[in-house]
Structure 1
Amino acid sequence: MPSRKKTLHFLSSALVTSVSVGILGYAMSTTWAAATMDCAPSGNVLFNGTAVIEFKLFNGSWNRINCPFFGRDEKFQVFPELAKVGGAPIVLHSLSVGLLVLCLLFSAVSILISLYNSVSNPYETYMGPVGFYASSSLSACLSLLVIMLFVVNINVTDMAEDLVKKFSQDNPVDLRNKSAEMQIGYYLVIPYMVLSLLSIALIYMYEHAAYTHKKEQQRPTEDAPKEIMMY
């Protein structure tokens, strides 16, 4: 059976990782970004309209004011609409969602390994600290990659403009001065990443303490006179 200290550290790590999974799960269900742009009927120099489009990972909404008419909030499915637009937006969005799913998968593996180590003393295999470090590190790295990919997709590509033009294709419009604001879903990826790193720190603290204790136990033998060692 593992020591009480080992059980405490691995259970704490499993709890921290579980909290991070809950945060990421909620993040994937809420709004990630909102893009606002000035709008005018095609060929009109007076940009007195506004289009606002909000993105969740799987669905979104857009509202138009004089773009070219007054409107109301309209819902849409992100993947089907981006597939019609094509290009980099659908690729980057699909990659972001896919990486988030992998984050959840690796976090689940981390929880499994933590719980296994809290009730047993496995040898140094993939079910030990090495496997935990690998899965939690991948979770943190992939979440950081999602943060970068999503902000690039919103701010650099023409994803929002292309969608507004598609929705207004019966009444073509011109757009300019796009501004994007990241929302809570996007920012919640940051605490998920931090908690993944914290879970690694908890296991490392135990491993470092166990290694130090082991070396201290070996030191009296190493420092013993050679005459005693011969016996």
Structure 2
Amino acid sequence: MPSTTKTLLFLSSALATSISVGVLGYCMSTQWAETTMECTRSGAIFSNGSALITWKLFVGDLNRDYCPFFGYEEKFEVIPKLVETGEVPSVVLHALVLCLLALCLLCSASSILISLYNSVSNPYETYMGPIGLYVCSSLSACLSVLVLILFVVNLTVTRMAEKLVKISTGITPADVRNESTKMMLGYYLVILYTVLSLVAIAVIYMYDQAAYTHRREQQRPTEDAPKEIMMY
């Protein structure tokens, strides 16, 4: 049976990872970003129209004010709407974000199972020991950072919000400008998920260091013994 210290440390790692899974699950259902832009009728000189897009991972809201007509609100599914714009990079990047988030959940689930297994047993240094936890939690942290980068790139570089507004204006074309994006709670919760994954790694590293120190202390009397004694 493992020691009490080992059990507590691995249970703490499992708890941190479990909280991170809850955080990631919630962030996947809430708002990730808001994009605003000015909107002008094609050919018009003056206009005070605007459009606001609220992004979630799976659905979004488009609110238009004199863009090009008086207030209009539309709810849309993100992937089908991006496909409608014909911008393949936007579709690919957003699908990649979803796949990476699913992999994060899978890695976190594996980390929890390995932590619980180590809390009740003493596996050797294999993928079922601290090594497995390092790998799973590190993958979770790295993939979540990649999600943060890809989501921002998709919003700012591909300009998918601008194209989405243009195809949603009906038969009257509109020109958009001064686009700005503000990240919302869902995006920042991914950062919290990354931090919790690193916390899980730090807890197991503490155990690893303590176990290494303990092994060294047990070996020291033999190393320090006189050679005459060791010959017998």
1:155-192 Cα shifts (integer Å, max 9, x gaps): 22210001001111321100000010011000100010
Counterpart secondary structure, 1:51: strand
1:10-40 Cα shifts (integer Å, max 9, x gaps): 0000000000000010000001011100001
1:79 maps to what in 2?
Answer: 79
1:185 maps to what in 2?
Answer: 186
Cα offset, 1:74, TM superposition: 1.6
Cα offset, 1:71, TM superposition: 2.0
Counterpart secondary structure, 2:101: helix
TM-score computed with the length of structure 1 as normaliser? 0.98
Higher mean alpha-carbon deviation, 151-160 vs 198-207, is at 151-160
Counterpart secondary structure, 2:72: coil
Structure 1 gap ranges (5+): none
Cα offset, 1:45, TM superposition: 2.3
1:155 maps to what in 2?
Answer: 156
1:29 maps to what in 2?
Answer: 29
Higher mean alpha-carbon deviation, 130-139 vs 36-45, is at 36-45
Structure 1 stretches of 4+ moved >4 Å: none
Distance between the aligned counterparts of 2:183 and 2:21, measured in 1? 21
Structure 2 gap ranges (5+): none
1:51 maps to what in 2?
Answer: 51
Distance between the aligned counterparts of 1:3 and 1:169, measured in 2? 68
Q: How does 1:116-195 map to 2 (within 5 A)?
A: 116-195=117-196
1:15 maps to what in 2?
Answer: 15
Counterpart secondary structure, 2:11: helix
Counterpart secondary structure, 2:54: strand
Cα offset, 1:87, TM superposition: 2.2
1:120-156 Cα shifts (integer Å, max 9, x gaps): 1111111111111000000000000011111111122
Q: How does 1:34-113 map to 2 (within 5 A)?
A: 34-85=34-85, 86-113=87-114
TM-score computed with the length of structure 2 as normaliser? 0.98
Distance between the aligned counterparts of 1:92 and 1:169, measured in 2? 26
Cα offset, 1:219, TM superposition: 0.5
1:225 maps to what in 2?
Answer: 226
May I ask how many residue pairs the two structures share in their alignment? Answer: 231
Counterpart secondary structure, 2:123: coil
2:205 maps to what in 1?
Answer: 204
Higher mean alpha-carbon deviation, 153-162 vs 14-23, is at 153-162
Q: CA RMSD in A?
A: 0.8
Distance between the aligned counterparts of 1:153 and 1:49, measured in 2? 24
Q: Percent identity?
A: 66
Distance between the aligned counterparts of 1:121 and 1:41, measured in 2? 69
Aligned amino acid, residue 44 of structure 1: A
Aligned amino acid, residue 184 of structure 1: L
Cα offset, 1:194, TM superposition: 0.3
Counterpart secondary structure, 2:181: strand
